Amino acid sequence: MNAWVLNAPKAVDNKPLRKSAIPLPAPLADELLIRVRACGICRTDLHVVEGELPVRKTPVIPGHQVVGEVAACGTSATSFAVGQRVGVAWLNRTCGVCRYCRSDRENLCEAPEFTGWTVNGGYAEFLTAPAEFTYPLPAGFDDLQAAPLLCAGIIGYRSLRLTGIGEGAVGWAGARLGLYGFGAAGHVVIQLAKARGAEVYVCTRDRARHQALAAELGAAWVGGATDEPPVKLDASMIFAPAGELIPPALRALDRGGTLVLGGIHMSPIPQFEYALIYGERTIRSVANNTRGDGRAFLDEAARIPVRTHIEIFPFEHANEALIALKHDGIRGAGVLVV
């Protein structure tokens, strides 16, 4: 089969992925062999390819927003049928026995595997994945529309839950939510939040693509990355990997507000005054996702329905897709057609 292989981390402008002919993978007993139809282009792929995440497997095939169809089933993978359309996400496998797995916190598993980082991912014609960590996909999304839901959507959903909106004193109706960075995750989250009744305030640096899309999707206000929104916010999320956004995001929070950091990697956070978190303001990170997050999100996305805005890249242009993502050249989410 053909696959894009990373032999050593390098800046994406140097086109480090190499198209290679490699053997077709064989599924283990609990795995599926999946023929890949589409794979979303995610900022985490950039972190893997450029070495901002430590090397865990070499060589490795990136990609973790995979849509495809089951080509073969392992002997114990009986929950899916050959030909069924499925999705594969970032969390590839957990140990199932550590204290986190046993307490419904498998996203914090002590011995996890991750698609496109510690095991081969979806920049390929085929991949294998555990059946228990593979998702059936709602019929309302075609292959290309579905791909960004499998990381940008799922992580955005978990980030939204961790804001605390909808719990206690702050309900969804009229809640004020801030989004810093407006790429693949942001453009899904705004649809979830607005469907629940929130007002969304977007801070992002790109006017031509990201700010325009935020306005198109119904943001109550759109400004630059460090601009101060016109109202105090109940909660905010940062999706851009930029630590310098934390102080301005804290300044925009109302008392008791929560700032959720939605990325797996972030540049250094500058020093800031204690006053920015006084008033019971909270900063918290998001680590991976649970399968429960994925299932709940896909159900809600189908009900709304969420509509992903995508830019399509042919399989031959995997390196160019990553370059476009790095330089803010994608409006919404990028998808590689396999």
Q: What is the structure's pLDDT at 207?
A: 76
Domain carrying residue 298: 2-148+289-337
133, 198: one domain: no
CATH of the domain at 60: 3.90.180.10
User: CATH no. for residue 228?
Assistant: 3.40.50.720
Is the domain of 8 the same as that of 143? yes
pLDDT tens digits for the chain (338 residues)?
999 999 999 999 999 999 999 999 999 999 999 999 999 999 999 999 999 999 999 999 999 999 999 999 999 999 999 999 999 999 999 999 999 999 999 999 999 999 999 999 999 999 999 999 999 999 999 999 999 999 999 999 999 999 999 987 789 999 999 999 999 999 999 999 999 999 999 999 887 789 999 999 999 999 999 999 999 999 999 999 999 999 999 999 999 999 999 999 999 999 999 999 999 999 999 999 999 999 999 999 999 999 999 999 999 999 999 999 999 899 999 999 99
278 and 293 both lie in a single domain: no
User: What angle, 0 to 180 degrees and rounded to 10, lies between the N-to-C axes of helices 184-196 and 291-303?
Assistant: 60
Distance CA 182, CA 45 (A): 17
Same structural domain, 124 and 222: no
- The β-bridge relationship of strands 2-6 and 17-21 is antiparallel
At position 28, the amino acid (one-letter code) is L
Number of domains within the chain: 2
pLDDT of residue 206: 80
Statement to judge: residues 133 and 218 lie in one domain: no
306 lies in the same domain as 325: yes
Q: In the prediction, which pLDDT does 70 show?
A: 98
One domain, residues 35 and 54 = yes
Give the type of residue at 226: T
Q: In the structure encoding, which two tokens stand for residue 13, read together?
A: 């402008």
Same domain, 300 and 175: no
Q: In this structure, are 274 and 176 located in the same domain?
A: yes
Q: Which long-range contacts (CB under 8 A, 24 or more apart) does 202-206 make?
A: 202/178, 203/178, 203/179, 203/227, 203/229, 203/245, 203/248, 203/249, 204/179, 204/180, 204/240, 205/328, 206/182, 206/328
Please, which residues bridge with residue 69 across strands? 35, 85
Q: Are residues 17 and 110 in the same domain?
A: yes
Indicate if 266 and 244 belong to the same structural domain.
yes
In this structure, the number of other CB atoms found within 10 A of the CB of residue 110 comes to: 11
Q: Are residues 88 and 131 in the same domain?
A: yes
Type of residue at 274: Y
Residue 170, pLDDT score = 81
The span from the CA of 206 to the CA of 30, in Å, is: 44
Amino acid at 311: E
